[in-house]
Amino acid sequence: MMPKSKKQRQLFYVVPYSIWLILFVFAPLVLLLFQSLTTSNGDFTLHNYAVYFASGTYLKMTFNSVWYAFLITLITLLISYPTAYLLNQLKQKQFWLLLVILPTWINLLLKTYAFVGLLSKTGTVNNFIGLLGIAPQQLLFSDWSFLLVAAYIEIPFMILPIFNSLAEINPRLEQASHDLGANKWQTLRRVILPLSMPGIKAGIQAVFIPSLSLFMITRLIGGNRVITLGTAIEEHFLVTQNWRLGSTIGVILIVAMVIIMILTRDRVRKSSRKRG
Amino acid sequence: MSKKFRWANIYLWFVFILLYLPIFFLIVYSFNSGSVMQGWSGFSLKHYNELFSDTRILEILVNTFLIALLSSLLASIIGTGGALYIYNLKHTLSKNVFLSLNNILLVSPDVIIGASFLILFTVMGFALGFTSVLLSHIAFSIPIVVLMVLPRLQEMNQSLVAAAKDLGANNWQMLSRVILPVISPGILAGFFMAFTYSLDDFAVTFFVTGNGFTTLSVEVYSRARQGVSLEINALSALMFMVSLLLVLAYYVISTRAVRSKKRGTRLVLPATEGL
């Protein structure tokens, strides 16, 4: 039996918090699901899902979105793992890590805007390759520019969890593997890599899910060539005003997210990311 | 060995240059006297003059900071309450349920948060504008504060609370004189995180902002769609400075928190002396 004062205290703490939970966690998700499952009269229907799964365009868009998210995750992983590994061997590693995190504190829009300037037809990159005698290229509004900018934005979110998992590895394990006759490559592959798997999984989770839902970069850099699930949702909600189909795609995005989280789940769960 | 190490350094330099190049590029061109991000026409502060005489941008800046400040303050209060509630829960199961519910908004993609909040505000008949943006920012900041405060509570020495109770402290005294001083570094860290999340947010705001009200990110988006304007570069340079200051402040707070942790319960002493 709880004493009365403690009950009062708990009540005082929980009231605003539970209002938040009900109003901003439960209600929006329920409403999203409700929108996707009803007609404009409020009758239950699976029509929206039928439209989604019957249409080749939507399925192709979903496949493309997953494919691009996969590419972005792969590129960031390939760049980030060596970076995290090498950072870990530096003396002032906390300071260097702070330098990796610093760009994530800068407004996402401003970073994207920088690339609009860098990659535009009269921009710096084109000027630079012009010096080498190459004619100006259309760099902006291409699949490559989209991948480049998305990977640039996501790299710190991949480095951070990998760095943390590498830092937790006992250095004696590396020495032991060396003593037992493993060369550097074998040590990396058989000892370091498996032990840093939780960090890699956390990084994949932190990069893949936002990559599925990016919509600002697809518009500013991808020039609407790349349509992700996020772009499709934004289009349906704010442009064509077809909320029911937009909600349907939203539900599918949530399902995709849950699948990824289950696939990358780890027994020891600890890591969160700053949203971008 | 040493040769290999040099290659490692070259690789790290390459990554760091890659990370910072776009940012410095923006800042350098904010001082260009020309009007595009190419070629160098000479040093000038004219884009800063433009920026400071652009009342629309200044108004948006004020709005953005007002939203960030209000939302992080309110989220800190509600989030701290939530953390205290979760901490006081006895059953591990209900604790875990609340923690999972707390994390839903943290893992949800921004587009989902934005779209579902838009439905929510429309269903409730809520006009889009300042209040809807503020409420959304409070909503997505609360779970961060909870996550920042909870570890502090778990580190707190339980006998302090028991002692305060034995000495006859009521609920309010226990909270304000014992618990809050101990967990204040966590609350402060949560506040800072919430503040930067709010300043940084684009997607959620974009959905719930309506027509009349704009924050900085949304404004940069609509301007960037029209092309490059060096006024935005000047703005980026200033924002970069603000971010640097925030990081510095956050760094100082967190290192101070670590130091005080080493000293154990030293942080509570002034309050207990006051009793």
* ipTM of this complex prediction, to 2 decimal places: 0.84
CB atoms within 10 A of CB A37: 18
Q: Which among B25, B77, B200 has the least Cβ separation from residue A108?
A: B200
- Return the amino acid letter for B170: N
In a domain, B96, yes or no: yes
- Has residue A134 been placed in a domain? yes
Contact yes or no for A226/A64 (Cβ under 8 A):
yes
Q: Is residue A269 domain-resident?
A: no
Specify if A7 maps to a domain. Answer: no
Neighbours of B44 (CB within 10 A): 14
pLDDT of residue A268: 47
d(C-alpha B16, C-alpha A83), whole Å: 9
* Comparison of pLDDT for A85 and B161, the residue scoring more: A85
Residues of A in contact with B116 (CB under 8 A): 28-29, 31-32, 250
Indicate the average pLDDT of chain A.
Answer: 85
Kindly compute the dihedral angle of the four CA atoms of residues A166, A170, A171, A172, in this order, to the nearest 10 degrees: -150
Instruction: Tell me how close the Cα of B56 comes to any Cα of chain A, in angstroms.
Output: 18
Which 144-173 residues of chain A touch chain B by CB within 8 A?
A: 152, 155-156
Q: Quick check: A272 pLDDT over 80?
A: no
Q: Which residue type is seen at A177?
A: S
Same domain flag for A23 and A62: no
Range of the domain at A20: 15-45
- Residues of B within 8 A of A79 (CB-CB) are 15
Indicate the pLDDT class of residue B268, thresholds 50, 70 and 90.
very low
Question: Rounded to a whole number, what is the distance in Å from the CA of B225 to chain A's nearest CA?
Answer: 6
Residue showing tokens 């007609």: A39
Task: Specify whether A39 is located in the same domain as A63.
Answer: no
| CB-count exposure of residue A165 (10 Å: 0-12, 13-18, 19+) | buried
CATH classification at residue A254: 1.10.3720.10
Q: A274 and A205 in contact (C-beta within 8 Å)?
A: no
- Is A32 found in the same domain as A94? no
Query: pLDDT tier at B3 (50, 70, 90 boundaries)?
Result: low
b/e B48-65 (16+ beta carbons within 10 angstroms → b): beebeeeeebeebbebbb
Evaluate whether B45 touches B31 at the Cβ level (below 8 Å): yes
Q: Is there a domain that residue A215 lies in?
A: yes
B137 has a pLDDT exceeding 70: yes
Average pLDDT, chain B: 84
Q: Is residue A115 part of a domain?
A: yes
Q: What is the mean pLDDT of residues B101-110?
A: 88
Instruction: Indicate whether B129 belongs to any domain.
Output: yes
Helix (H) or strand (E) run with residue A115 in it = helix A108-119
Domain-located, residue B24 = no
Assess if residue B245 is contained within a domain: yes
Indicate the SS3 state at residue A112: helix
Answer yes or no: do A41 and A62 share one domain: no
pLDDT in tens, A9-25: 778 888 899 999 999 99
- Which of A256, A153, A270 lies closest to B103 in space, CA to CA? A270
Query: What is the rounded distance in angstroms from the CA atom of residue A234 to the CA atom of residue B115?
Result: 8
Q: Which of B77, B106, B170 sits opposite A272 (nearest CB)?
A: B106
Number of independent structural domains in chain A = 2
Minimal CA separation from A175 to chain B, in Å: 16
Nearest C-alpha in A relative to B235: A110
Q: How far is B94 from chain A (nearest CA, A)?
A: 13
Do A98 and A147 fall into the same domain? yes
- Determine contact: B55 vs chain A, CB below 8 A: no
**pLDDT value of position B262:** 46
Say whether both A85 and A202 belong to one domain.
yes
Looking at the fold, whether A39 and A65 belong to one and the same domain comes out as no
Among all chains, which residue has been given the structure tokens 């995005």? Answer: A253
pLDDT of residue B189: 85
Is B205 within 8 Å of chain A by CB?
A: no
pLDDT band for position A2 (50/70/90)?
low
Residues A38 and A68 in one domain: no
In this structure, the answer to whether residues A201 and A227 fall within a common structural domain is: yes
Cα–Cα distance, B63 to B210 (Å, whole number): 14
**B221 within some domain:** yes
How many domains is chain B partitioned into structurally? 1
- Side-chain half-sphere of A139: how many Cα atoms within 13 Å? 22
Statement to judge: residues A224 and A128 lie in one domain: yes
Q: What does the pLDDT average to over A159-166?
A: 92
Query: What is the arithmetic mean of pLDDT over A133-157?
Result: 83
Q: Check residue A92 and give its pLDDT.
A: 82
Percent pLDDT > 70 in chain B is: 90
pLDDT tens profile B26-53: 888 888 887 777 667 788 888 888 888 8
Model pLDDT, residue A255: 92
Find the mean pLDDT for residues A114-124. Answer: 77
A125 — pLDDT class (breaks 50, 70, 90): confident
For residues A41-51, give the mean pLDDT. Answer: 86
Is B64 within 8 Å of chain A by CB? Answer: no
Distance CA B78, CA A12 (A): 10
| CA-based nearest residue in chain B for residue A214 | B111
Gap from A67 CA to chain B (nearest CA, Å): 18
CATH code for the domain in which residue B123 is found: 1.10.3720.10
CA distances from B167 to A209, B174, B263, B269 (A): 51, 10, 24, 15
Q: Does B184 touch chain A (CB under 8 A)?
A: no
Contact A16 B228 (CB under 8 A): no
Residue B3 placed within a domain: no
**What pLDDT score does A267 carry?**
54
Q: What is the pLDDT of residue B2?
A: 55
pLDDT of A216-228, one tens digit each?
A: 888 888 877 778 8
Domain finish residue from A26, A45, A64: A45
**The residue type at A17:** Y
**B183 inside 8 A of chain A by CB:** no
* CA quadruple B158, B162, B163, B168: dihedral sign: positive
In chain B, positions 24-43, which contact chain A (CB-CB < 8 Å)? 25-26, 29, 36-39
The conformational region for residue A83 under phi > 0 = left, psi -120 to 50 = alpha, else beta, is alpha
Asked if residue A20 and residue A71 are part of one domain, the reply reads: no
pLDDT over 60 at A40, yes or no: yes
In a shared domain, residues A92 and A206: yes
Would you say residue A10 lies in a domain? Answer: no
Report if residue B36 sits inside a domain: no
CA distance B61 to chain A (A): 13
B213-253 pLDDT, tens per residue?
999 889 888 888 887 788 888 888 888 888 788 778 777 77
